[in-house]
Structure 1
Amino acid sequence: MTSQAFRLQFRWETFNHDLLASVVVFLVALPLCMGIAVASGAPPATGIITGIVGGLVAGALAGCPLQVSGPAAGLTVIVYEIIHEQGMERLALIIVLAGIIQMNWAWLQLGQWFRAVSPAVVHGMLAGIGVLICASQFHIMIDDLPKGSGLENLATLPSAIWKGLVQDDSAPMNHHLAARIGVLTIVGIVMWNLYAPRTLKALPSVLIGVSLATVTTALLGLDIAHIKVRDNLLTIINPPTLDSMRHLLDPAILGEALALALIASVETLLSATAVDQLHHGPRTRYNRELFAQGTGNLLCGFLGVLPMTGVIVRSAANVEAGARSRASAMMHGGWLLLFVSFLPFILRLIPTASLGAVLVFTGYKLMNVEVVRELRRHGSSEVLIYAATLGTIVVTNLLTGVLVGVGLALAKLLYTTQNLDASLERDPSTGRLMLNLQGIATFVSLPRLATALEAVPPSTDLEVRFSSLRHIDHACLQLLESWAKLHTASGGRVDLDWDKLNGLSYHARKDVRAATGWRKWIY
């Protein structure tokens, strides 16, 4: 076989795998795109258009070839708040800015830095989002309207459950019927995950649950709300107007765009890291992936639809279905485009309660209470960071919660890595005074070192022991040197190996690496 024939055969085999995987991803993405749009307070078709852009544009440019992009549950909270407070037109402007910010971050080579987030913060963020999604979408699942805030949604859950359990002839909506269809959807998803025949396992459980609910609703002729989708997708497109562009430099708009870009980037690149662990193909190029997401969001903003991120549920389905290249993600976008262009009437058969139930189930999975056990293994402080992030998101908003979590994680890092134990004691055999230094001596721990030195009586002999000291910075070195001069001038004596102590500083180690050629090796 010639090399050209081999390449053609390889490409054909790859295409076969990607084609089958793209169909599976399309079937997973279709209900999720619509459900996330409904949860965000936007028309269902806006979620589908975002999925199309995520497949055709972000998929073509992606730095993580097997990652699938589209509307994400992790952004529903912040998007819902923007739409509720400022409207779809302002959202479009914010998404345009967020896309530009992401592209600039990629140009500045900041892709890898978005992975440097404490797992406790990430899990707390996802859990907080999960709580808010469950609380808001439970109201959708019974054909009711979500309330104005996350706390209101949580507080009104008991009354929502009562509406779903009890038939009320005086109510204009059949909440109890919608609730049963929602429960049927969740039961269908769970049962398919547990008992699906191996030969049919490739069919996504979300599709099975929604299909079961749709068929049941149609056969019984239930009078509940259905998805509203226009025949012409072009009528959904609502780009920002020239008049709205004058708000580009509005501090409030810039703040919302920065928050959206930050959260979308973190979710995307953490998802890409997870995708790398699922296969043995090419590894993620993080800056390229960040640029692809920025380009996709820029286009989504100009189209007036929802923002996108890389999403782990659809990406995992893509890998499990046997995808080999970026062609799978791109083709899934093509299937979405064909479906909504030629078969929109099928979407109008889907009950809104069923999509609400899909998001309730998704929110429950995002909460993932089992992760608390894993965090506890690394210390109670990790659980505290997780709980603080989760609680702040629920009580205030997503950005504040993430900032609180990151702040606590940095405080913990500062406490654990900048600790210095400076203790004075006398050697029982010689009677000499000793200063024992252990840990890391930096400017943060300088007051502790200064306190220990001030406790040394004048005109005494002091032996400084630092065999357990791992690092010392310039500030602490300077303090020791100036104190030693003053102590010696007052008639005292300091026994200290200055050369060895200086060797623990960063610059000394840097010089050693340069001299041994280590710097050249690492680069």
Structure 2
Amino acid sequence: MNRARKSHAGEHTTAGPPPKPGLLGVLRHDVPASLVVFLVAIPLSLGFAAASGAPLMAGLVSAAVGGIVAGALGGAPMQVSGPAAGMVLITTSLIAEYGWAATAMITVGAGLFQLACGLTGVARVALSLSPAVVHGLLAGIGVTIALSQLVVALGGEAGATAEENVLMLFAPVDLESLAVGAVAVAVMLLWPLVPRASFAPAPLVAVAAATGVGAGLDVARVELPGIEGLVAPEMPSGPITGIAFAVVTVAVVASVETLLSAVAVDKLHDGPRADLDRELVAQGVANAVAGAVGGLPVSGGIARGSTNVAAGAVTRMSAVLHGVWIGVFALALGSVLELVPLAALSGVLLVVGLRLVSPERMRVLWRHGEFTAYAVTVVGVVGLGLVQGVLLGVAAAVLRSVYRLAHCSVRVDEAGGEGCRVVIRGSLVFLGAGRMVRELRGVPLRRHVVLELHIDFLDHGAYEAIEDWRAGYQRLGGSVEVLEVHDTWFSKATKGMPALRKAPVAPSARWFAPWSYWQQRRDAAGEVVVPRQRDEVDPMILGMHEFERFAAPLVRPFLAELAERGQRPGQLFITCADSRVVPNMITTSGPGDLFCVRNIGNLVPVDGDDSVAAAVEYAVRVLAVRTVVVCGHSDCGAMKALLDGTAPPGSRLRSWLRAADPSLIRFHELEGHASGSAVVERLAVANVAQQLDNLMAYPCVREAVDCGALRLVGMYFDISSARVYLVDPERGALAPVTT
């Protein structure tokens, strides 16, 4: 694809944009796909209506409305809407409490609520619900559906609660109904294993096979009253708060299921990405229409949507046409449906319900530490009801998040002698302060304690807990040094300027700051503490110790690989020995990237220095580097000495700087004599250009450049501004670094 397509569902890039099909494309792709989806939707719509206790015709009406209305207006063209498994339990409870006509009016209200939410652009808020709770909700609904439909398959009548259905499993079994249901279950499970079975959807084949088995049996069958059997919606009676809660519940669950399905279907095709707000508006209109004509609540479904994509649909016309076929079928061929045994539908729904309980999803949630919220939601939905289960799941997810926020690790390391190091990692908030203080109180008394903080947040409660412990510990004869590795949360709080927002963990100053910055001891107020003479340690030893503790575990995998395969740097980096120039830092490179040569003035003598020549030849001929960089810098002492002639006569430094005489001549030729501090900087740039010319005097370099295997690059580093520039050798000018 030449460009990325963006939507509310996120950013997505595909291999190529599908062509916009004309009438021929619709006839070739969408019409066959709509027939496949139609065949899948018929048994599911009837089954969901039967499981909800609603008129069976209501399922077909909703499927037709969902296909035509939501399909025509929706923001997810490949999604197909209709009655869904996620709404069965809610509809069942609403019918039991308010009756079917009032439930239809609640569906109208839910549609209007969805419409308002879509117009205000809050569709993405619905996706903020924890995935563990959403999948727990679907699994709980699946278990509840499976229990109720198992009762029907055994010849009984499904109860209103999971507990009632469990008790009904021990009632006498109707063997004829069991046989019909068993055939439907077997076909649902085995049909996908048949080679080239995709030409017919499993639910349709299962219902057809079970109907054939039950043709001569005395079993309960579908009773379809016809369009005249649909009821007009009526205002529900009862407390207004309960009715409002029912409306919001239907709207939220239908919206979440729709939006999750839209995002999932988006991943299956290369067409336009879903506009979630538009999809929510379309679902609201569809539910308002469905409720008004006496239908079930409507939502997008992954089963129908994935079938639509797999069948080859390319536009929204497939979803619309599927709704048209259902409407025609319900009007003209309703008598055919009355041949279907209820046990056949229950067998299909039993498998559909159990498939909502995904072991793979459980494993993923377990690995991410979210299984508790999932399990609580499932148990709550099955045992107490949908709303109660979701609320319990949300509470479990919130408690888990609070635990993670409040959890911090405290480790006490004996440093030997009189020292002790306490390492605290995580977020420090008042909820975890008690546990932290218990660990701190276990630190041996009268020691010098280094309190090392690796934290991304510190609230006032946790700060006071640490400060109180520190003050008490020092009163008992100990000393506490607070060492903040990533940020200065504690010192800011001590100075009365606390940070108020959680921040990402910043890179430690140890990775780039001088020893003098991070090796200074500071007290709790952030003031520098002058160490006692016997406490002084070689800063290099301290740096090596910090490398072993922090950097080594991070870099060890890379070094192990380099040790095994050898070095393969892509660049030879020639720069000055100045301690302020750190090649790996200014190029953001790591071990194995740069082959470095450092000397006074970043010089490449044409003759007389075997050290530089050997390094250049080794890099070009043996390592086969692709780039040679010469990097000068501001405030260069070598350039100052070259201008002023201050190198002592007869010294090795004066002898070495003779190799830079061509650079001085080049500088004067370019600009003539100049005064001021900028002279040194301009000379440093001219020196880089000259060293690039000197490199071309090396036969190995010239040959590699001529054949296109090597390029030479001039670079200049401004120390005070921490800016890197490229050097134009022809003009002796600087250019910004661009990608």
Match of 2:173, as an amino acid?
K
Deviation at 1:76, TM superposition (A): 1.0
Contact 2:66 2:82 in 1 (8 A): yes
Q: Secondary structure at the match of 1:439?
A: strand
Deviation at 1:213, TM superposition (A): 2.8
1:185 aligns with 2:184: yes
Deviation at 1:143, TM superposition (A): 4.1
- TM-score, normalised to structure 2's length? 0.59
Cross-structure match for 1:367: 357
Q: Secondary structure at the match of 1:226?
A: coil
Contact 2:419 2:448 in 1 (8 A): yes
Deviation at 1:287, TM superposition (A): 2.1
1:239 aligns with 2:233: yes
Mapped to 1, the partners of 2:237 and 2:221 lie a distance apart of 38
1:416 aligns with 2:411: no
The structure in which a higher percent of residues are helix is: 1
With over 3 angstroms needed to count, the CA separation of the structure-2 counterparts of 1:485 and 1:371, relative to structure 1, is: closer
Deviation at 1:310, TM superposition (A): 0.9
- Partner of residue 470 from structure 1, selected from 456, 462, 478: 456
Cross-structure match for 1:516: none
- Partner of residue 38 from structure 1, selected from 26, 50, 56: 50
- Partner of residue 136 from structure 1, selected from 144, 148, 151: 148
Contact 1:458 1:492 in 2 (8 A): yes
Cross-structure match for 2:113: 101
1:115 aligns with 2:127: yes
Match of 2:336, as an amino acid?
I
With over 3 angstroms needed to count, the CA separation of the structure-2 counterparts of 1:349 and 1:415, relative to structure 1, is: same
What per-residue deviation string (whole Å, max 9, x for no partner) do you get for residues 432-485 of structure 1? 56553311123433445566788999999764422x223334665577689989
Q: Secondary structure at the match of 1:364?
A: helix
Match of 2:178, as an amino acid?
A
Deviation at 1:133, TM superposition (A): 1.1
Deviation at 1:497, TM superposition (A): 6.5
Contact 1:238 1:305 in 2 (8 A): no
Cross-structure match for 1:206: 203
Q: How does 1:97-496 map to 2 (within 5 A)?
A: 97-159=109-171, 162-164=172-174, 176-195=175-194, 197-198=195-196, 201-218=198-215, 220=216, 222-231=217-226, 233-240=227-234, 244=235, 250-379=240-369, 382-422=370-410, 427-429=415-417, 431=418, 435-448=422-435, 463-466=450-453, 468-473=454-459, 476=462, 495-496=481-482
Mapped to 2, the partners of 1:60 and 1:459 lie a distance apart of 77
Contact 1:422 1:436 in 2 (8 A): yes
Deviation at 1:96, TM superposition (A): 2.3
Contact 2:456 2:503 in 1 (8 A): no
Cross-structure match for 2:32: 20
Match of 2:383, as an amino acid?
V
Match of 1:21, as an amino acid?
A
With over 3 angstroms needed to count, the CA separation of the structure-2 counterparts of 1:507 and 1:230, relative to structure 1, is: closer
What per-residue deviation string (whole Å, max 9, x for no partner) do you get for residues 302-361 of structure 1? 223211111111111111101112111111111111111222222222222211222122
Match of 2:192, as an amino acid?
N
Match of 2:259, as an amino acid?
L
Contact 2:156 2:168 in 1 (8 A): no
Cross-structure match for 2:636: none
Mapped to 2, the partners of 1:87 and 1:433 lie a distance apart of 71
Instruction: Give % identity.
Output: 35
Contact 2:457 2:503 in 1 (8 A): no
- The number of residue pairs the alignment matches comes to 480
Contact 2:456 2:502 in 1 (8 A): no
Q: Secondary structure at the match of 1:79?
A: helix
The structure in which a higher percent of residues are strand is: 2
Cross-structure match for 1:78: 90
With over 3 angstroms needed to count, the CA separation of the structure-2 counterparts of 1:276 and 1:155, relative to structure 1, is: same
Deviation at 1:398, TM superposition (A): 1.3
Cross-structure match for 1:91: 103
With over 3 angstroms needed to count, the CA separation of the structure-2 counterparts of 1:471 and 1:8, relative to structure 1, is: closer
Mapped to 1, the partners of 2:225 and 2:402 lie a distance apart of 54
Contact 2:254 2:298 in 1 (8 A): yes
With over 3 angstroms needed to count, the CA separation of the structure-2 counterparts of 1:138 and 1:424, relative to structure 1, is: closer
Match of 2:391, as an amino acid?
L
With over 3 angstroms needed to count, the CA separation of the structure-2 counterparts of 1:475 and 1:64, relative to structure 1, is: farther
What per-residue deviation string (whole Å, max 9, x for no partner) do you get for residues 484-503 of structure 1? 89999999976446894149
Deviation at 1:52, TM superposition (A): 1.1
Match of 1:184, as an amino acid?
V
Bigger CA radius of gyration = 2
Deviation at 1:279, TM superposition (A): 1.6
Q: Secondary structure at the match of 2:416?
A: coil
Mapped to 1, the partners of 2:331 and 2:104 lie a distance apart of 23
With over 3 angstroms needed to count, the CA separation of the structure-2 counterparts of 1:60 and 1:436, relative to structure 1, is: same
Contact 1:422 1:448 in 2 (8 A): no
Mapped to 2, the partners of 1:496 and 1:359 lie a distance apart of 63
Mapped to 2, the partners of 1:208 and 1:101 lie a distance apart of 38
Match of 1:419, as an amino acid?
H
Q: Secondary structure at the match of 1:158?
A: coil
Mapped to 1, the partners of 2:241 and 2:148 lie a distance apart of 29
Q: Secondary structure at the match of 1:440?
A: strand
- TM-score, normalised to structure 1's length? 0.81
Contact 1:131 1:367 in 2 (8 A): yes
With over 3 angstroms needed to count, the CA separation of the structure-2 counterparts of 1:506 and 1:288, relative to structure 1, is: farther
1:50 aligns with 2:62: yes
Q: Which moved more, 1:278-287 or 1:66-75?
A: 278-287
Q: RMSD of the alignment, in Å?
A: 3.4
Q: Secondary structure at the match of 1:465?
A: strand
Contact 1:226 1:351 in 2 (8 A): yes
Contact 2:188 2:202 in 1 (8 A): yes
Mapped to 1, the partners of 2:90 and 2:502 lie a distance apart of 48
Instruction: Return the structure number with greater relative CO, CA threshold 8 A, min gap 6.
Output: 1
Cross-structure match for 2:41: 29
Contact 2:139 2:378 in 1 (8 A): yes
Mapped to 1, the partners of 2:49 and 2:268 lie a distance apart of 28
Mapped to 2, the partners of 1:102 and 1:286 lie a distance apart of 12
Deviation at 1:134, TM superposition (A): 1.6
Mapped to 1, the partners of 2:118 and 2:465 lie a distance apart of 42
Structure 2 unpaired stretches of 5+: 1-17, 493-497, 507-739
What per-residue deviation string (whole Å, max 9, x for no partner) do you get for residues 94-135 of structure 1? 222322332333334332232234443333322222221122
Q: Secondary structure at the match of 2:76?
A: coil
Mapped to 2, the partners of 1:445 and 1:21 lie a distance apart of 56
Mapped to 2, the partners of 1:35 and 1:507 lie a distance apart of 51
Deviation at 1:246, TM superposition (A): 7.5
Mapped to 1, the partners of 2:477 and 2:121 lie a distance apart of 56
Mapped to 1, the partners of 2:409 and 2:183 lie a distance apart of 61
Q: Which moved more, 1:434-443 or 1:304-313?
A: 434-443
Contact 2:155 2:173 in 1 (8 A): no
Deviation at 1:396, TM superposition (A): 0.9
Q: Secondary structure at the match of 1:421?
A: strand
Mapped to 2, the partners of 1:9 and 1:367 lie a distance apart of 38
Mapped to 2, the partners of 1:97 and 1:448 lie a distance apart of 49
Q: Secondary structure at the match of 1:436?
A: strand
